[in-house]
Amino acid sequence: GLLHIVLDNPDFIGMILLGPPCLEFQWHHHIPKDLASKSFLQTCGDLNVVVGILCGIYLGAFQIRNPIGICLVAFKLIMA
- pLDDT (tens digit, 9 = 90+) per residue, 17-66? 778 878 877 877 788 787 778 888 887 777 777 777 777 777 776 677 78
In total, the chain counts a number of residues equal to 80
Q: What is the pLDDT of residue 31?
A: 82
Cα–Cα distance measured from residue 74 to residue 69, given in angstroms and rounded to the nearest whole number: 9
Containing 27, the helix (H) or strand (E) segment is helix 19-30
Cα–Cα distance measured from residue 8 to residue 23, given in angstroms and rounded to the nearest whole number: 8
- pLDDT (tens digit, 9 = 90+) per residue, 52-69? 777 777 777 667 778 887
What Rg do the C-alpha atoms of the chain give, in angstroms?
Answer: 14
